[in-house]
Amino acid sequence: MKLPGRILLGLFCLLVAVWLIAPTIVVVPMSFNDKKSLAFPPSGFSWQWYQNFFTNPEWSASLVSSLKVAVVTAVFATIIGTLAAFGLDRMKSRVSGVLRALLITPMVVPGVVLAVGIYAVYLDTQLVGTMTGFVMAHTMLAVPFVIIAVSASLEVFDKRLETAAASLGATQLTAFRTVTLPLIAPGILSGLLFAFVTSFDEIIVALFITSPYLKTLPVQIFSSITRDADPTVAAVGTLLFIATSLVIGAGLLIGSRQGKR
């Protein structure tokens, strides 16, 4: 490609990149606002919204609920999803194709329709505002991500390695434990992370099945945004951003160290 074309393409990509990350950037300065307003740029500096987040029981309780729900969801979804990915991998391709399509439908069902249905079921079974209710709904939403992540690593996994292990005298279980599992571990781990994030960030179903006693963080954020202009939301956003960056940074670091070995 000629140089002007390259420059144009580069500039275009820069613009798209800015568009992608602008909303992330803008939240950070807002969180240090000195006034209770969402005008940008903020007029002064203060830590009060962070203080508010950690001291206001409404906010800290919702953070704790979200963490609880997301951790339990991630564990269940990873187990169920990994089993399913293995099952699909061992099946005849036509059957597994149909089942796979079926199992990832939660990703495409419109959120509000699903939420209305789940709300109806939960009203009849007294699951509204319960931990069980949240975990069940979120696990169902998170399983597809685990299946996709684990299937992706099973697809590139060379099954002859298991055969090789078996030919060297390993039992099926040993071969699985010492050969298969370590090789697909990155897939399982990324499935776990996806499941956690799916639950932690889920809002539509949560808005329907929430109660004053069990409110997840996104619900709290949503009600805060619709109620008034409270920069605490920006502080939460910044904290989430930092936390995720640390986790992903650690992941990359471990990944690159393993790559070097």
Partner 1 sequence: MAASATGSRDTGPAAAADDRWRWFRGQAFWLVAPALLLLVVCLGLPLAIVTLRSFSEPQWGWQNYVWFFGTPVNLTVLQRTFAISAWVTLVCLIAGYPYAYVMTVVGPKMRLVLILCVLVPFWVSGVVRTLAWVILLQDSGVINSVIRSVGLGPVKLIRTQTGVVIGMAQVLLPFMILPLYSVMKAIDLRLLQAARSLGASPARAFAQVYLPLSLPGVYAGAIIVFILALGFYITPALLGGPRSTMLSTLIQNQVLSLLNWGRGGAMGVVLLIATFVLLALAAPLSRQPHKTGSRR
**Binding residue for partner 1, selected from 61, 68, 71, 241, defined by CB under 8 A:** 241
Taking CB under 8 A as the binding criterion, the range among 45-53, 54-62, 88-96, 182-190 that sits at the site for partner 1 is: 88-96
181 binds partner 1 (CB under 8 A): no
53 binds partner 1 (CB under 8 A): no
189 binds partner 1 (CB under 8 A): no
Between CA 213 and CA 118 the distance in angstroms is: 18
**Binding residue for partner 1, selected from 63, 69, 70, 233, defined by CB under 8 A:** 233
**Binding residue for partner 1, selected from 61, 71, 189, 204, defined by CB under 8 A:** 204
**Binding residue for partner 1, selected from 51, 56, 60, 105, defined by CB under 8 A:** 105
State which of positions 119-148 bind partner 1 (CB under 8 A). 119-121, 136-137, 139-140, 143, 147
Least distance (Å) from partner 1 to the CB of residue 51? 19
Three-state SS for 104? coil
**Binding residue for partner 1, selected from 49, 63, 65, 81, defined by CB under 8 A:** 81
Least distance (Å) from partner 1 to the CB of residue 192? 15
- Of the two residues 63 and 214, which places its CB atom closer to partner 1 in the complex? 63
**Binding residue for partner 1, selected from 7, 16, 164, 181, defined by CB under 8 A:** 16
Least distance (Å) from partner 1 to the CB of residue 189? 16
| Cα angle: 127, vertex 130, 132; to 5 degrees | 80
Between CA 61 and CA 71 the distance in angstroms is: 15
Least distance (Å) from partner 1 to the CB of residue 6? 9
Contact 106, 84 (CB under 8 A): no
**Binding residue for partner 1, selected from 67, 189, 203, 251, defined by CB under 8 A:** 203
The Cα diameter of the chain in Å comes to 71
Taking CB under 8 A as the binding criterion, the range among 48-56, 67-75, 103-111, 177-185 that sits at the site for partner 1 is: 103-111
Q: What is the Cβ-side half-sphere exposure of residue 118, based on CA atoms within 13 angstroms?
A: 28
Contact 146, 77 (CB under 8 A): yes
C-alpha to C-alpha distances, 93 to 89, 158, 166, 181, 229, nearest whole angstrom: 8, 17, 24, 22, 53
Q: Dihedral angle at the C-alpha atoms of 236, 244, 208, 225, nearest 10 degrees?
A: 30
Tokens 């409270």 sit on residue: 230
Between CA 132 and CA 72 the distance in angstroms is: 10
